[in-house]
Structure 1
Amino acid sequence: MQILAITAGAGAMYCGSCLRDNALAAELLARGHDVVLVSVYTPTRTDERNVSRHEVLLGGISVYLEEKIPLFRYTPKVLDRLWDAPGVIRAATRRAVSTDPATLGEMTVSMLRGEHGPHRKQIAKLLDWLRDQVQPDLTILPNSLLIALAGPIARATRRPVGITLQGEDLFLDGLREPHRAQALDLIRQQVDTVDAFFAVSELYAPHMARLLAIPAEKMHIVPLGINADDFQRRGARGRDLVRIGFLARIAPEKGLHVLCEAYQRLRARSHGLPTMRLEAAGYLGPEQRGYLAGIERQMREAGLAAEFRYLGELDRAGKVEFLQSLDVFSMPATYDEPKAFSVLEAMASGVPVVQPRRGALSEIIEKTGGGLLVDPEDVDALAEGLRRVLGDPSLAERLGAAGYAGVRDHYSTARMADRALEAYTAVIGRRSDARPEGRAYMASSLE
C-alpha cells in the first residue's frame, strides 16, 4: 500500500499530533508499506527517529507572507524556495511562534477557502510536488483544518483522501467570532470531498461527527499508540519523598493550575503521608509565561514554593527518566482531551494516574485499569484521588501494573497500525472513480 501522510509541523514544539503521525508512519514503513510522510507549515519535531521527508509543503513563511502582503501571492517559485527551505523555516520558528487561535482566525479561514482563497498558489505548488513525487493509493491529512486540500488532491490523484481527527476542536473553539463560525461552515461544506475520517478515540468520534456534520458511514476509529519499549517499570522506591508529576504543554486547558490547587488541598490533609513534591514538565510558549508565573506565585503564597518545580521541555531520555521518578501522575485537562499521550507514557512506565472522567482519558483508563477516574472540575475529588494512591502502596502497585500491561495490550504502535490498515484497506476498497468535481459553492459563501 502506498500512502501519502501529510503532517502539520508545530515549529519548535513537540506536538502530540506530530508524534502520533510519525509513530504510525514508522510502524507502517517497518511492515513494508510505502509511506511518504511530509510536513506542512514547518518541519516536525519528534522525540523518536523522524521519518518525514526533508521538504516542507505550504511553507509557513510563505503562507504568512501571502496572508499579510498580497504581492507575495504572485512571486515566482524561484523566490519562494528561499523562504520555503526547511532550515530557513526552523530558524524563523526557533524563537517560538504563537499558535494561539485567538490571533489566527483570518489565516485559518483563508486556508479553508483553499483554491478560492489567497493561498491558491501554495496549493498549486503542492499539487506540482505531488505529481512529481508520489502516486498514493490513499492520502491522509492531519486534521480538518486542512480539509481544503482534500478536493484538489483527490482530483489530482483520483484516489481517496482521508482526514485524521485528533484535537482540532480545541483550536476551533479558541477562534474568535466571526472566524469560528466561518471556519466551521467552510469545513462542513467540504466534508463531501473527503472519503473517510479517522478519529483517535471512540469517544471523540461522535463529538467530531456532530461538530463537523460528518456522516456516520465516513467515520473510522484508529486509536492512539505509543512505542512503549523505552518506558520501563520503575523499581522499588523508598517513602521518604513522593513525587506527583505533570507532563504536557503548559497551558490552561492542560490543567496544571488545577493540579496545583489539588496539591495545596492535599497538603492540607496530608497527615500520615511522606514529604511531597509536585514536578511539572512540558513546552512553554511565550503566550503562556504569565500563566506559569501565576501558578508559581500561588504556590509561594501557599508556602509551598520549595515543593514545586518546573523542569522545562524534556527530550525523550529526559521524559523517560522523569516518569520513572514519579509516584503518581495527573494531567487534569479542562476539556475533552482526545489524545493524552503523556498519560499513556506514564502508565507505560508503571506509574498510577489520577485523571478527570472526560474525553479520551476515561476511555484510556477504563481499558487499561491503570488509574483512578474522578469527577471533572472537582478539585477536592482530584486531591482525594491523589491521597488514595499515595496513602495505599498496594493500590498504587496494582494500578501501576495494570497500566503497564494495559498500554502494551491496547495502545501500542502495533495495535494502532493494525487498526489503521484495516480502515485504510476498507476505504481504498470501496472507492469508486466517480468523484464530485464542483467546489464553486465555496467562492460565494464568504466572499
Structure 2
Amino acid sequence: MRDNALAIELHKAGEDVTILPMYLPLILDEKPLEGLKDTPIFFGGINVFLQSKLSLFRKTPAFLDKLFNSTGLLRFAARNSHMTSARTHGEMCLDMLNVEESGFKKEFEKLLDWLEEVGKPDVVCLSTALQAGLADEIKKRLGVQIILFFQGEDSFLDGLPEPFKTQCWERMGERLSSSDILVSPSHFYSKYMEQRLGFSIGEIAVMPNGIKLEGFAKSDRPPEYPTVGYLARMCRDKGLDVMVDAFIHLRTELGNSDARLKVAGAMTAGDAALVNELKKKIKAVGLDDDVHWFPNISREDKISFLQSLTLFSVPVAYPEAFGLYLIEAIACGVPVVQPNKASFIEIVNTTGGGVCYPETGPNALADSWHSLLSDPARRITMSETGRKQVEAHYTSSQMSQNFLHLSRGLALPTS
C-alpha cells in the first residue's frame, strides 16, 4: 500500500511512475496506480519456487512461465504460503541476494530486459532490503540511481534457520553498498538497522510512511459501548494473543463490564489455528458475545471499523519498523495504546494521538485501556491533536515530497 500511495502522489506531481509487482500480484485496499494491471509480474512466486528446486524450470518456455504467473495461481499460492518450510524461505532469500549466481538468472534477465526496452527509468526503487541483490546489475545495465527502502526485514531474517539467518544478514549488508540511497520509515528503524548491519550513524535516511487521508475521519457518533480494536494480520507476532488476554483482564479484573473487543485484519489459512484457539479461550470465560471478528476487510470496511472504536492497539512482539495501522487509527480520531518500544514511541510522540505502556505483558495493556476509558477528556484531546499531526506529518502527499527531496539529493524539509 505504501508503494502504491507514493506512486500515485508522484504521478500527480508530474512524474512518470511505474510499479513492477514482484513475487505476487499486489493486494490493495485502494485504487491502484493507473496502468498497473498491464504491468507483468516479475519473479513470480511459483516460478521462483520451482526454479529454486528443479533446474528444469530454469529453461521452461515463456508461455509456461506466463501460465505460472497467472493471478489466480499466484493468489492460491499466497493463501497456502504457510506450507513452505523455513529452510526453503532461507534458501530463496539467499538466492535473491546472490541473484546473478542463482537459479533465478532467467527471471532477472526478464526484469532487466523490460527495464531497458519498456521502462527506461531514471531511478529504480527497491521496496525492501531483501532485494538488495538486484541493485548492482541494474546499475550496470541501465546506469540509474538506486533507492532502497527498509520495511522490517529483521523479523523475517531472524526467523530463518541457521545457516541461512547468518548468511542472509551478512550478504544483505554487503549488497546494500550498491544502492545510492537507503531509506527507513522511522528514526528508530534507521538507527536499529545501522547497528545491526554495522553501518555508520546517518547512512540510512528517514522518510516516514504516509496515507491518503480521503475517507479517514472521526465518526460523528461515539460507539454505543467502550470498544477496543485491533487491525493487523491475525497472528501471534502482531500480538493478537496479548490483545485477547488484555481484554479478558479488562473485563474480569478491572471492572469494565461493558467493554467490547473488535478484531480485524488479514487472516491466512496459517492463522486459523491461533484464531480458533483464542475464540475458545474467550468462550471459556463467557465473553464470546462481546468479541467480534472481521477478517480480510476492504478499505471502506476498514475505515468504518476504525470509526467504531474507542481505543486502538496492536501489541506487536517484535521491533516494528513503522506501523501504518497507527496512522490510520489516529486519522480516524481513535487514540492508540502501544508498547513503549520501537517506532511506536516516535509515532505517539509526534502525533500526541495516544500513549505507550510499559511492555510487561497483557495486564499492563489492560491497565492503560482502563485509565483512558476512565478519562474521556484526555481521549478527546488525543483525538483532536492526533488528527492534526497526522495531517502535518503522515500523509501520502508529504511522503511524496520527502521522496522527491531524497531522490534529488536534498535534505528533508523540517516542517
TM-score by length of 2: 0.93
Deviations 1:26-74 (A, max 9, x none): 1111111111111111110111111135311112221111012211112
Q: Which residue of 1 aligns with 2:402?
A: 419
Q: Which residue of 2 aligns with 1:285?
A: 268
Query: Is the contact made by 2:321 and 2:342 (CA closer than 8 Å) also made in structure 1?
Result: yes
Shift of 1:94: 6.4
* 1:125 paired to 2:110: yes
Alignment-mate amino acid for residue 367 of structure 2:
E
Match of 1:76 among 57, 61, 64: 61
Query: Is the contact made by 2:24 and 2:78 (CA closer than 8 Å) also made in structure 1?
Result: no
Residues paired across the two proteins, number: 407
Q: Which residue of 2 aligns with 1:250?
A: 234
Q: Relative to structure 1, is the Cα distance of residues 101 and 164 closer, same or farther in structure 2, using a 3 angstrom cutoff?
A: farther
Deviations 1:355-404 (A, max 9, x none): 11111111111000000110123322211110111111111111111221
Query: Is the contact made by 1:241 and 1:275 (CA closer than 8 Å) also made in structure 2?
Result: yes
Match of 1:182 among 164, 167, 179: 167
Look up the SS of the partner of 2:82 in the other structure: coil
Q: Which residue of 2 aligns with 1:229?
A: 214
Match of 1:30 among 6, 12, 32: 12
1:28-177 to 2 correspondences below 5 Å: 28-51=10-33, 52=36, 53-86=38-71, 88-90=73-75, 92-93=76-77, 95-98=79-82, 102-103=86-87, 104-177=89-162
Query: Is the contact made by 1:191 and 1:214 (CA closer than 8 Å) also made in structure 2?
Result: no
Shift of 1:97: 2.6
Q: Which residue of 1 aligns with 2:248?
A: 264
Look up the SS of the partner of 2:260 in the other structure: strand
1:370-389 to 2 correspondences below 5 Å: 370-389=353-372
Q: Which residue of 2 aligns with 1:436?
A: none
Alignment-mate amino acid for residue 31 of structure 1:
A
Match of 1:206 among 182, 185, 191: 191
Query: Is the contact made by 1:166 and 1:200 (CA closer than 8 Å) also made in structure 2?
Result: yes
Q: Distance in 2 between matches of 1:201 and 1:264?
A: 33
Shift of 1:210: 2.1
Q: Distance in 1 between matches of 2:333 and 2:77?
A: 36
Comparing 181-190 with 365-374, greater Cα deviation is found at 181-190
Q: Relative to structure 1, is the Cα distance of residues 315 and 252 closer, same or farther in structure 2, using a 3 angstrom cutoff?
A: same
Shift of 1:215: 4.2
Alignment-mate amino acid for residue 124 of structure 2:
T
Shift of 1:192: 1.9
Shift of 1:301: 2.2
Structure 1: gaps spanning 5 or more residues: 1-18, 428-447
Query: Is the contact made by 1:101 and 1:172 (CA closer than 8 Å) also made in structure 2?
Result: no
Shift of 1:101: 7.4
Deviations 1:255-289 (A, max 9, x none): 11111111111113443x46111110111122221
Alignment-mate amino acid for residue 361 of structure 1:
F
Shift of 1:217: 5.3
Structure 2: gaps spanning 5 or more residues: 411-415
Alignment-mate amino acid for residue 30 of structure 2:
E
Q: Relative to structure 1, is the Cα distance of residues 214 and 77 closer, same or farther in structure 2, using a 3 angstrom cutoff?
A: farther
Q: Distance in 1 between matches of 2:146 and 2:85?
A: 26
1:192-203 to 2 correspondences below 5 Å: 192-203=177-188
Q: Distance in 2 between matches of 1:151 and 1:214?
A: 19
* 1:337 paired to 2:320: yes
Q: Which residue of 2 aligns with 1:21?
A: 3
Query: Is the contact made by 1:369 and 1:399 (CA closer than 8 Å) also made in structure 2?
Result: yes
Q: Distance in 1 between matches of 2:82 and 2:118?
A: 32
Q: Distance in 1 between matches of 2:302 and 2:405?
A: 32
Comparing 79-88 with 260-269, greater Cα deviation is found at 79-88
Query: Is the contact made by 2:242 and 2:361 (CA closer than 8 Å) also made in structure 1?
Result: no
Q: Relative to structure 1, is the Cα distance of residues 186 and 106 closer, same or farther in structure 2, using a 3 angstrom cutoff?
A: same
| Percent of paired sites with the same residue | 32
Query: Is the contact made by 1:335 and 1:358 (CA closer than 8 Å) also made in structure 2?
Result: no
Q: Distance in 1 between matches of 2:328 and 2:225?
A: 22
* 1:327 paired to 2:318: no
Q: Relative to structure 1, is the Cα distance of residues 217 and 134 closer, same or farther in structure 2, using a 3 angstrom cutoff?
A: farther
RMSD between superposed Cα atoms in Å: 1.9
Q: Distance in 1 between matches of 2:247 and 2:64?
A: 54
Comparing 19-28 with 71-80, greater Cα deviation is found at 71-80
Q: Distance in 2 between matches of 1:306 and 1:76?
A: 55
Query: Is the contact made by 2:97 and 2:175 (CA closer than 8 Å) also made in structure 1?
Result: no
Comparing 345-354 with 372-381, greater Cα deviation is found at 372-381
Alignment-mate amino acid for residue 29 of structure 2:
D
Q: Which residue of 2 aligns with 1:397?
A: 380
Q: Which residue of 1 aligns with 2:393?
A: 410
Q: Relative to structure 1, is the Cα distance of residues 340 and 99 closer, same or farther in structure 2, using a 3 angstrom cutoff?
A: farther
